[in-house]
Each structure stands twice: as C-alpha cells, then as structure tokens.
Structure 1
Amino acid sequence: MDDIMRAIFACIPGMRSPASPGGCLSAAFGGGDDDGEEGEGEGEDRISRLPDAVLSSIVSRLPVKDGARTAVLSPRWRRVWASTPLVLDDADLLPDDDGPQIFWRDVADAVSRVLAAHPGPFRCVRLTNACSYAGSRGAAALSRWLGVLAAKGVQELVLVFLHAWPVRVEPPADVLRVSSLRRLYLGLWRSFPDTEHLRPGADVFPNLVELGICRTDIKAKDLDRLLQCSPALETLAFVVSYNTQPNVRVRSRSLRCVLFWMSIAEELAVVVAPRLERLILWNGCPCTRRVRRDFRTRVKIGYTPELKVLGYLEPRIHVLEIANTVIEAGTKPSPGTMVPTVKVLAMKVRFGVRQEAKMLLSFLRCFPNVETLHIMSAEADEPTGKLNFKLKFWQDVAPVECLKAHIKKVVFKNFRGERSELAFLRFVLERAQILQTLVVVLTDGDGDHASQEELGNRLKPLIYSTHRASKCAEFFIFVRCGGTSWSFRTASDLSRSDPFDC
C-alpha cells in the first residue's frame, strides 16, 4: 500500500509554487500605520513598499496558515490576502509540532473555516487528510465543501481518500457540479460517482482540461458519458488503476493526451479520438505482483488521425491491434496495419528474449514515419532461445521503412553492454540512412565509476568499426551515465514535443 500511495502522490499536481518550508516574510514590521508605512525610528519595512501584485504573489506561495496570518499586519495586508486567489493544501493545516496524536476533526474544521473566510476565487484546493476524515463520516461535510468550492470558482481540485482510513467510499456526486474546474484529480475512492443523471452532451465540466483518475474504479458507461460531457478535456490519466472495468474504451472529440500510468486492463482501446496527439503507456505498477505472468493488455488504436507520440510499447505485456488487425511477429505491413502519423515512438524490450526481438521489428513496421525512436532495454529473467543476434538474426532482417528513410534520432536507455544490445545498436547504425544522433544511456548499475567506464569501453568497437549507413555531415554519438528525470509530469506536459526526452 505504501508503494501505491507514493506512486499516486508522485502524479498528483502540486498546488503551490516551490517555496522554502518554514519560510517567513523577512522584513521589520513595527510601528507602521494602517497602510503598512514604516514608523519613525523603526526598522525599514521594505516588503510593504512592494506593489499589491507582488505581495499577492508572495502570499500565494506561503502555506495557507502563514498566508492567512499576514492579514493581521495591516488593513492593506488583509486586502491582499482576501484578493489573492486561494491556494489550500490541507497538509499545511496539520499541527506544527510532531505530537503523537492528530485530531483530524480539528483539521476538517480548519478547512471549513478557511473555505468560509476567503471570499474567492479559489485557484487550487488539495484535500487529503481532511477529505478522508470527512468522507469516512458521511458525505455531508464533503458536499458542503464542494458547494463552497463551486460557488467560489475553484479551478484545480485534488480529492484523495487516504487508504489509511478503514473504509473506502465514493466521492459525492456534487463533484460533477463544480463547473469552474480546469483540473481534477480523484484518488483512492471506491468508484467514480454515478453519471446516470447526466444528460448526454451536457456541459458538466465545460472548462475541465485535465482529469486524473487514481486507483478509483470507473464503469465503462460512466467514462463514456463523462467524456461526452467534457467538451474541453485535453488530458485523461489513469493512475495505478487495476480494479476498473476490464476494457477501457476512449471516445472523445477533444482529448489530446491519454496516459495509462502504472495501470492494468485487459484492453485499452482508443476508438475515436480525432485530436489525440499522444498515447502514453507506462508499466511498473506496484500491483503487478498480483498479476499472472502471462497477463497481456490489448492496445487498440482506432481513429486517431493526429497521433504523433506513442510509448512505451512493451512486447512483454502489450498486444498491439491496429484497425482490427492484431500485430504479430512476422506480420507484413499494409496500409491497414500502419499508423503513419506517429513521429515519436518509445519501446521497452528484453533483447535477450527471442520473441520480443521479433515483435520489436513488427512494431517498427507499423510506424513507417517515426523520426525519433526511444528504446529502453529491460533485463530478462532468463534469456530465451539461442538467437545469434550478431551473425544471423539482425543481418537477415528485411528493410524497415522508418529506419531506412525517416529516423533521425535514436535514444537507447539502460545499456548494460550485453551482446544482444550491441547487436541491435550495430543494426541501427548500419540501416538508419539519415540518422543524425545516437544517444546511449548507460545503466545506473551500482553507480560505480569503473563499471560505467567498462560499459563505455564496450561501445568503442561498435562506434569506430561499424560501417555507418548515414552520410549526414553532422552526425553525433553521445554516451552518458544513467539516470532519468522522466516522470508523470514530464509525460503529461503537452508543451514538450518529445515527452520521453529527458
């Protein structure tokens, strides 16, 4: 459960701009008049000389308790606090000391006081501790809070029901009536609210741009209706979802990004998504130990004319289906089995497993216009087959269109110096005719410098002796040590043209 909690909280957007914990307003406040002017003979009050807009920015970066305390300084500071859009994280309302007991009712009461005292608007509200306390005692308090949030125009809302509490409950249906929301994350609830009462096509979330469903079950009919009723929705994320419906089907006219993050389903089908630009898949779910070793997720790509970014596809767990055709090892490419719009493709492969090496090639042939290829090498428990990677398998491969004519950059991550990895890299160098950049990221291993140097030495013969197909005047090979900053936030950032490049 701790792993699940960490995974979810790593994906929940932060509510506040970075600030130093325990920071304070470093200026002398003494003897000033009501407008914050300095008094005779007192320390100079530099902060109060700043424009209101700057003071408001300062207050917005403080924990909510400290922000509210500025109101006692002067009438001007009271005006600043009241006019600053509220940023509330109920974790900031916990006691300052490290006492053995926390009275959760006091935290919930503090949330009620803050929501009532601030006139709005509310920019970000994150409720976890108080949310769990209130939710475990019925929906009345949560419903009241949601009513206030709706009335005061909250833009971003996170509601997480902490699993430390003895029961799992459903969030009140009132959350579907907070029409001002632009971002909503629901986590660790038993299920998503029933949408039966929603009229198809109604603007339930007319402004919602980003929705995260974290370890919260949602029925197929509720997901479908929710997407119909959210005309501005661009990002949909499933985080650590594995008890939801076996089939997740996406139909949306507005979605640009779907993330299936540390989640499991028998089928993930993007049926109709005319604006979808990226489909992000990432395994590593903390719950995978509960899943059969032979479990597979069928990834179905339907009508997605704008799809440009896809990955990480894993032959170990993903069965790829394009236009009702299941892609298998040896599947011959045809117009019906290709997605020509994809420009950035990421795959995670166990090169020591013969079948996965074959599927890698089959998958590559489905995306003939890929320009940037990310390959993450995964370690096989036990290499299977006696595949002669160097002398036979890769040399006998028929031409692959994307390698031959389109791939300009290849990033190979988690390089361990295995023979099968070297053979694949040689294959890339010998076949990629317009390749400009090859990046090899050495595995972290034990972090030992000598180990990293040894891995680099294994690459030298490949780099200097391979007959390179690319004749580009500016061709670069970069080798760097392991480590990656890739995260949910990076993957979901639509301003990045390549979310895997980090």
Structure 2
Amino acid sequence: MLCLITDYSNLGRRRESEGKHNYLVDRISYLPYEILVSIVSLLSLKEAAATSVLSRRWEKVWKHTTNLNFEDLDLSVGDNCRCFKALEQNLRDEKSRNYVNWVDRVLVQHEGHNIERFRAFFFLNSRFTNPIDKWIEFAMQKRVQVLELQFFVKQYYCTRDNYAFPENLIGLGGEGESSKHIPTLHSCRYNNVGFKFLKVLRLQHIGMTDEVLEYFLSNCPVLERLTVTVAENLVCVKVVGPSISVKYLAVNNCPNLKSIEICNANIASFVYRGACIELLISNVPLLIEVHISERALDNDYTTLAFTRLSSCLSHLEILKLDIWGVLYNPNCDFPVLEILKHLELNVETNYHSALYHLYSFMKACPHIERLALKLDFRTYVETPVSKAPKFSHHSLKVVEIMGYRGYQSVVEHVKYLIENAVALEKIIIDPVQRWIWPPKMDRGSTMVDEEVQARKHAKEHLKERVPSTIEFLCL
C-alpha cells in the first residue's frame, strides 16, 4: 500500500492513464481517514504533499501528517555539505531563507492537532531567530513527541551567531530574583501543553544555558532521549534525582562545559564527547552503557576513566573509550568488569607497548563477547610492536577492526587476538572509519583509495592467517 502511494506521489498528474492504479487508489480511499493520515505520515513531506492530486478525498490528508521532517537538502551527503559551505555568503543566506520559507508555508497549512515528530535540519543561525522561535511554539502547541533542531555552521566548533533557545517561551529570561528559579509547566506560556508529551529531544548548534537544560530535565515527564551537541553557554549539566525520566543522555562537544553530574537517576546509557571535564557519576544502578571520548593525552587517562566510572563498573554491559594517544602505563591497575559484554576502544596501534594495552583491557574484561577496535592513523609512523603476554580468553566471539589499514602493527593486533581468543568465531574487517564518516558521506578520493587498498590487503594477506574455524568478513 505504501509503495503504491509513494508511486503516485511521483507520478501525480499521470494518474488518468493508469486505470488499474486508479482503481486501487479508489479502494484505498475508502479506508478510515485516520488510516490515510497514518499512511501519509510514513512518507517524506514532498511525497505526502504530492498525494493531494490522487483524488478529492486525498486533497487535504497530507495537511494532517504527524511527521514534519524538514530535510530538503541531505546534508549527511558530503558533496552537498561541502558545496553549500563553499558558496558565497549571499547565496548561502538565500538558500537558508528559502528553507525557512518552505517550513513556514507547511506549518501555515498544517491542520492536524498533534505531531509525532518535528525536525529542522539545515544551515541556520541567529539571523533566523524569529521564525525558529515560532517553529518551537508550533511544536509545543501540537504536543510534539520528537523534537530535533539540528543546525549547521561553516566551522563545526564555531558557536558565534548560533541560534539561542527562546527562554521566554518556557518561562525563563525574566529579570530579578525570580528569573533564577527553574519554571514549571504551569509557569510556561503553554502550561496546558508545554513539552509534557516530549519523548526525544536533539539539539545541535543551539545556544543553551544550564537553566534551559534543567527545565527540560525537570518538566518533561516522558522525555527518554536527550542529545545536546555544540551547545554554547552550557557549563554544568546536572541529572540528579529519580524523578528525571531521561534514560539516554548524550552531551557532545560543548565548548564551555565544565562538569557533568549524574546522581540517583534512571540513566541507562550515557555518552560524552569533548574536552576533559569533571565527571561525577554515583548511584545509577540502571546504567549499562557508557561511551566517553575525551581529548586527553595524559598517560594516566585510563586510570582516571576507571576511577570516575567506579560506581557503575560492576553493572556495565557496554563500554566505549577513546584511548587514542594514551600510552600504556604498567602501573595502572585495571579493575575487573565482570559483566561487560561489549568493549569498544579507539586505539593507536603504532607504538611499542600497544599490545600490552590491549592485553590489559582483555584481562580486565573476562566475559566480553564482542571487541571493536577503532583505528585512527592521524600521525602514523611504522613502529615495532612488542609482544604481549599470552593468555586464553574464553568468551570473546566477535572481533571488529574498524578503519583497517594494512600496516604491520595492525596485523600484529589481529594475530594476537586470533592466538589468545580461544572461543573466537568471527573477524570483521572494515576499512571505513564509520564513527567519523556517517552513511552516504563523501570521504574524498584519497580516503576511498586507501580503503580500497586496505580491503585488498585484508583479503590477500590477512585472510590467510585466519583459521578456517573462524569466519572472516571484509566489508
């Protein structure tokens, strides 16, 4: 059914010549209106709008769509993103204005009472504050469940001229002593609705204060997923108390952030990327997944990471750490992570003690079933790798090497894992650095050539080292 509607959204004006399709559309048109709205809500906005030509009954169905995903330009495709950035300022401004006008036109025509998702995804900044404020106001009135404001700038870490979240819309931003208190839904302009239906919030390149973030944490009773990326003015994140509903928290590259405190909360998954900050985690019994990627080259960083996670190590099931540039410290006493099942490390392979570092982690994680090594060769110089002690790991079943290159140090890592992981069932070799390059993103001809050579090396030289009892997969 969905394929048929999608087909008609593309064929539109040719429907008269398609008698069979017309018959099917007529039959579908007899379905309850709510089902037609559900069908249209599965389409993109442009496809949904195109269904208005199917028949008189379909004319206004798209105006009740619950999926307002305004992704006109696929900025996840590297060519489009780079081309946009390369444009002269006046042309970029024109395209941004056209995008804003498109969103405004759709919102004016929307007739539904509720929306499940509102997503704005474009190069926008403070020059478009007024329309963006109205979009958020619209989303609040429509009881939005998923709100995504993902804006882009020419330089990723630049926060100058970023759009700032409208504090007055949620009861903040006043003057005097009362402005220091976090408002409630009752003090919000839309106290009868507010964001009490909000389940997912993703904000990127949005100016945000600690008070705004605290408002969302304290006043969104069903908010489960919160992602904040490059949020200017965010200094201290506090997720404290069992009343906070957020279970999945991600804080990425906020330039002024000093600390994150998570205490007595129901957090199940926590992600932090950015500079070294004060990280306090305590009494979080539901926390099973942690991903920390800090820009730290301190040799004691591994010890520091385990120390800060000490209160949750006993119940972690998934741990992802960025230890690139952190050298092995023989005096570091790794704690044993008894129930950890998945370990992912961003590592540097080309230094003499690299295998010792890997050995220490595997000894500390006796029950992991999956190990992923993310390889980064920013400053690669081939260095002899010292042999690490032999031992038998009885749980590791799957090894994934991401960002593979045919360097000897990488081959030594694979050999070491084959020799010591006695239960190993599968090795996955992936030359693409997928944690850096999202799907569809153009990586450039140089990078692609490197991946082709790496893939060829893996198939011709690495595969032969893998026993027949272990499945070898090269992506």
TM-score above 0.5, yes or no: yes
**Partners of 2:160 and 2:347 in 1: CA distance:** 40
* Displacement after TM superposition at 1:428 (Å): 2.5
- Residue 472 of structure 2 corresponds to residue 478 of structure 1: yes
Change (3 A) 1:380 1:189: closer
1:13-33 deviation digits (Å, cap 9, x = unpaired): xxxxx9799834476369xxx
SS in 1 for 2:149: strand
Match of 2:179 in 1: none
- The answer to whether the Cα contact below 8 Å between 2:316 and 2:340 also exists between their aligned partners in 1 is yes
Match of 1:15 in 2: none
Counterpart of 2:138 (choices 140, 143, 148) is 148
Greater mean deviation of Cα atoms: 20-29 or 404-413: 20-29
Change (3 A) 1:105 1:446: closer
Match runs of 1:304-319 below 5 Å: 304=312, 305-317=314-326
Aligned-partner residue type, residue 459 of structure 1: L
- The answer to whether the Cα contact below 8 Å between 1:312 and 1:348 also exists between their aligned partners in 2 is yes
Match of 1:28 in 2: 15
- The answer to whether the Cα contact below 8 Å between 2:263 and 2:283 also exists between their aligned partners in 1 is yes
- Residue 293 of structure 2 corresponds to residue 276 of structure 1: no
Aligned-partner residue type, residue 258 of structure 1: F
**Partners of 1:216 and 1:308 in 2: CA distance:** 29
Compare the two structures and name the one with the higher helix fraction.
2
* Displacement after TM superposition at 1:82 (Å): 5.0
- Residue 108 of structure 2 corresponds to residue 119 of structure 1: no
- Residue 208 of structure 2 corresponds to residue 191 of structure 1: yes
Aligned-partner residue type, residue 320 of structure 2: G
Match of 2:372 in 1: 374
Match of 2:449 in 1: 446
Change (3 A) 1:29 1:247: same
Change (3 A) 1:110 1:478: closer
- The answer to whether the Cα contact below 8 Å between 2:8 and 2:15 also exists between their aligned partners in 1 is no
- The answer to whether the Cα contact below 8 Å between 1:350 and 1:380 also exists between their aligned partners in 2 is no
- The answer to whether the Cα contact below 8 Å between 1:180 and 1:207 also exists between their aligned partners in 2 is yes
Counterpart of 2:359 (choices 358, 361, 376) is 361
Identity of aligned residues (%): 17
1:240-287 deviation digits (Å, cap 9, x = unpaired): x140323333336322222335x333455544432122223468xxxx
- Residue 462 of structure 2 corresponds to residue 459 of structure 1: yes
- Residue 401 of structure 2 corresponds to residue 412 of structure 1: yes
- Residue 127 of structure 2 corresponds to residue 136 of structure 1: yes
Match runs of 1:294-309 below 5 Å: 298-299=304-305, 300-304=308-312, 305-309=314-318
Match of 1:234 in 2: 247
- The answer to whether the Cα contact below 8 Å between 1:370 and 1:407 also exists between their aligned partners in 2 is yes
Compute the TM-score of the two structures, normalised by the length of structure 2: 0.68
Number of residue pairs matched? Answer: 406
Q: CA RMSD in A?
A: 4.5
Match of 1:260 in 2: 272
- Residue 330 of structure 2 corresponds to residue 329 of structure 1: yes
* Displacement after TM superposition at 1:355 (Å): 4.0
**Partners of 2:384 and 2:20 in 1: CA distance:** 83
**Partners of 1:378 and 1:162 in 2: CA distance:** 25
- The answer to whether the Cα contact below 8 Å between 2:234 and 2:254 also exists between their aligned partners in 1 is no
- Residue 256 of structure 2 corresponds to residue 244 of structure 1: yes
- The answer to whether the Cα contact below 8 Å between 2:384 and 2:409 also exists between their aligned partners in 1 is no
- The answer to whether the Cα contact below 8 Å between 2:425 and 2:470 also exists between their aligned partners in 1 is yes
- The answer to whether the Cα contact below 8 Å between 1:272 and 1:302 also exists between their aligned partners in 2 is no
Change (3 A) 1:196 1:429: closer
**Partners of 1:338 and 1:359 in 2: CA distance:** 15
* Displacement after TM superposition at 1:81 (Å): 3.5
Change (3 A) 1:477 1:172: same
- The answer to whether the Cα contact below 8 Å between 1:82 and 1:120 also exists between their aligned partners in 2 is no
- The answer to whether the Cα contact below 8 Å between 2:115 and 2:143 also exists between their aligned partners in 1 is yes
- The answer to whether the Cα contact below 8 Å between 1:160 and 1:187 also exists between their aligned partners in 2 is yes
- The answer to whether the Cα contact below 8 Å between 1:266 and 1:296 also exists between their aligned partners in 2 is no
- The answer to whether the Cα contact below 8 Å between 1:349 and 1:357 also exists between their aligned partners in 2 is no
* Displacement after TM superposition at 1:114 (Å): 1.9
Q: Can you give the 5+ residue segments of structure 2 that lack an aligned partner in the other structure?
A: 74-89, 171-184, 186-193, 433-446
**Partners of 2:358 and 2:153 in 1: CA distance:** 39
- Residue 162 of structure 2 corresponds to residue 168 of structure 1: yes
- The answer to whether the Cα contact below 8 Å between 2:248 and 2:269 also exists between their aligned partners in 1 is yes
- The answer to whether the Cα contact below 8 Å between 2:455 and 2:474 also exists between their aligned partners in 1 is no
Change (3 A) 1:26 1:260: farther
- The answer to whether the Cα contact below 8 Å between 1:248 and 1:265 also exists between their aligned partners in 2 is no
**Partners of 2:218 and 2:413 in 1: CA distance:** 50
Change (3 A) 1:445 1:382: same
